[in-house]
Amino acid sequence: MAEEQKDWYVVLGVERSATTKEITKAYRVKALKYHPDKNPDPKAALIFHELSQAYDLLLDPAARAAFDNLLNVKVQAKERTDRYDSARRKMKEDLESRENAFKEQQQAEKAAAMRMHYEMERLKQENIKKRAEREAELLRQADQLSEAASAARQAALNQETKSLDTTLRLKWKKKKHAFETDDLINIFKTFGEVDSCLSKNQGSALISFKTLAGAYAVMRASEREHKELEAFTISWAGGAEPSAVSALRGSDPSTATTTKTPQPSSGAALPKPVFNVQSAPSFTPAFSAPAFPGLATSFGGFPTQIPSFGAAPTLSSVVDDYEAATLAKMRNKDSERKRLAEEMMRQDKEDEEEQRQAATSRDKKHKV
């Protein structure tokens, strides 16, 4: 197609009526001028090739006749175009304008459809992100509720532990001693006011004082090997010394300076301290020990059979009621959280359906 568009007569520089002799002469002149062996110009080889094509075509009668016919058709078409009147030219221009407008409309519709698709994907991603954020917020709220419940249970356990601060566990050899409940109360009331005492005459008992000072006085007397307490092995009912006892020990002058007692130079043994029952209140600190209202536990409601003194007592009924109320609130909040999650998922589905319907209606309008 590119060779047919060239005018080979112009390439050789001859007229359309030139003879074979004139064509040969013109070819030789230009071939000598543009031969690659004699012309170093890079374009010379291309021109020499075109000259050879023109020479071969014009020397062939059939090929020259076909080329002349093509030139005549082009000339006639140009003449017809030149003879068009202004109305026909305007009609042609209008047709071309409408075709261009149609193409522009198609491109605009395609761009609008692509933008709509992009917006739909963007909204979808935003909805997914919002849903994830809402779910994360719900989980965070659930975690907060769980932490609050754990804190409440821990506070209840701490409250129960504090109630054991004034309680001591007693053990003795039942084959050597037979202590009744009244006997135990009479022995230990000299150290502080006894709140309650639980004993099954099995060689162990629990005794509770109304103040921590009373329980502390018993423990100090036991450490000093008080004569009235030699038959007992005494320990804290909670399994460990209460933290408040450190304050009492710090204020007790008898414990502040007795870290180490020097031995006499003569090697004689130190006299064993004798504890006077009548002077038992002297074990109470000089300051007035603060009372702990609500922390002392009455043992009047203890079960008649105790499985083991090594285990701490269970939570009181008040703590059980508090935990039950807390768990009920948690269940109500969990139900509300599930309901909110379902409502948000339903709303998201409705929004996506509305967007799809809106996109479908816009597509129909563009097609119309």
Using CA atoms, how far apart are residues 281 and 287, in angstroms rounded to an integer? 12
- Written as one letter, the residue type at 71 is L
Contact 100, 332 (CB under 8 A): no
Residue carrying structure tokens 């285990």: 311
Q: Is the pTM of this model over 0.75?
A: no
Q: Is 216 left (phi over 0), alpha (psi -120 to 50) or beta?
A: alpha
Domains 8-79 and 165-252+274-312 equal at CATH topology level: no
pLDDT of residue 101: 94
- Which candidate, 301, 291, 294, places its Cα nearest to that of 192? 291
What is residue 337's predicted lDDT score, i.e. its pLDDT?
63
Count of beta carbons in the 10 Å neighbourhood of residue 296: 24
pLDDT digits (tens, 9 = 90+) for 68-100: 898 898 888 777 777 776 677 788 888 999 999
pLDDT at residue 339, rounded to an integer? 75
Question: Residue 308: its pLDDT value, please?
Answer: 43
Topology of domain 165-252+274-312, CATH = Alpha-Beta Plaits (3.30.70)
- Distance CA(168)–CA(182), nearest Å, equals 16
Per-residue pLDDT of the chain (368 residues; tens, 9 = 90+): 344 558 888 888 889 888 999 989 989 998 888 888 888 888 888 988 888 988 898 888 999 899 889 889 888 877 777 777 667 778 888 899 999 999 999 999 999 999 999 999 998 999 999 999 999 999 999 999 988 988 888 776 665 555 677 888 888 887 777 788 888 888 888 888 898 888 766 678 888 888 888 888 888 888 888 888 888 889 888 777 887 776 656 655 555 433 333 444 334 444 444 444 344 444 444 434 444 444 444 444 444 444 444 444 444 454 455 556 656 666 676 676 677 677 777 877 887 888 888 888 888 777 76
Q: Which two tokens stand for residue 229?
A: 């307490």
Q: How far is CA 210 from the centre of its chain?
A: 51
Alpha helices in the chain (DSSP H): 8-12, 20-34, 44-59, 61-82, 86-163, 181-188, 212-223, 244-251, 253-256, 317-367
Instruction: Give the whole-angstrom CA distance, residue 48 versus residue 59.
Output: 17
| Cβ–Cβ < 8 Å for 250, 199 | no
Phi, psi of 328 (to 5 degrees): -65, -40
Which 8-state DSSP code applies to residue 5?
T
Q: Domain 8-79 is in which class?
A: mainly alpha
Domain ranges in the chain are 8-79, 98-162+314-368, 165-252+274-312
The closest of 292, 293, 188, 197 to 231, measured between CA atoms, is: 188
pLDDT at 255: 54
